[in-house]
Amino acid sequence: MRFLTTMCSVTALVVTTMGQPAMGAPTAAEKCASAKISATGKYSLCRLQAEARAEKTGKLIGFNKCSAKHTDAFGKAEAKYGAECPTIGDASAIQVDVGVDVSQLACRSRALAAVEAVPPCLAFLPAGAAIVSVGGIKVTNFYDPILTVSNTSATDITAYCFFVENDANCNSRDFFLPLPAQSTVSWFAGVGQSRLPPTSVPFSGEMVCLQIAAPTEFPTEFPVPVYANNLRATVTPPGGCTRDGISIGLGDGNNGDSTLQLGGGGQSEYGPCPASIGAAHIQSCWSNGLFMFECH
């Protein structure tokens, strides 16, 4: 019943209206929530129909029309009912949650071995890693995957993440991502969210995240790596199964400096460089103005 997790996000639309049974005519808050739930149902159907067309024709999936109609419907409801709406400006966040669920449902319908996405309402998360790399991210003007970063620990943490393109220059864009205890953050890669920058469009590459101590001043203070395995990251491409990132766990110890040693036996700060990524790529493309990655 994985698809039911969509209700985790939709519930936020009505939570403030459920204190007592409705009496008489519906309130403005109830009307606004009803309009948004109806629009979200239509958005889900629109995306499922797009998935079906893609499966039948073999063409890439574009959800721009579905998203535009959903965003427009939410805007109209908020314009009509104003501050009475239980939530404001949540169209994009709900589109992300619905997108993960719909893609996973389509994945299962194809009888593929799906990797479960982390639902927003899940109280327990699987074990994490110190560094995680999500590869195979492709973004175009009409094709946009969903990225998810999770905190598997019982305390708040901060991740330092950056995008790396598959070109010769390895151009990157970095950001800090605060993560409350046992939480997930999901967003469309090409759109971004709040303080999370979007990828370039088009984009082909990976996202790398490293657990750090939260800087007291963003972004001027130098981040310090934290010796802990609490990160997990996934990508959900349109029409595809959610894929886990490649995890790199803890090694023998971490001295907290900006040079991160992967592998080496007896002196490593982290596990070995994954062969599927390659030592040369990690050392040249992951290294930036904040951290130097070394494979041993």
pLDDT in tens, 45-56: 988 888 888 778
pLDDT of residue 118: 40
pLDDT in tens, 170-180: 988 999 999 99
C-alpha 246: how far from chain center: 15
| Mean pLDDT, range 101-108, rounded to an integer | 77
What residue type is assigned to position 53 of the chain? R
| Residue 73, number of CB atoms within 10 A of its CB | 18
**pLDDT over 70 (residue 42):** yes
> Tokens standing for 265?
């036996």
| Mean pLDDT, range 62-74, rounded to an integer | 87
What residues does each domain of the chain span? Answer: 2-16+26-109, 131-295
Contacts of 18 (CB under 8 A, 6+ apart): none
Say how far apart CA 217 and CA 195 lie, in whole Å: 14
**pLDDT over 50 (residue 69):** yes
Q: What is the pTM of this model?
A: 0.73
Minimum mean pLDDT among 11-15, 32-36, 148-152, 161-165: which range?
A: 11-15
| Mean pLDDT, range 72-82, rounded to an integer | 91
Mean pLDDT score of the chain = 83
pLDDT in tens, 120-162: 433 334 578 999 999 999 999 888 999 999 999 999 999 999 9
| Mean pLDDT, range 189-212, rounded to an integer | 93
**pLDDT over 90 (residue 248):** yes
pLDDT of residue 55: 78
∠ Cα 130 132 133 (to 5°): 155
pLDDT band at 116; cut points 50, 70, 90: very low
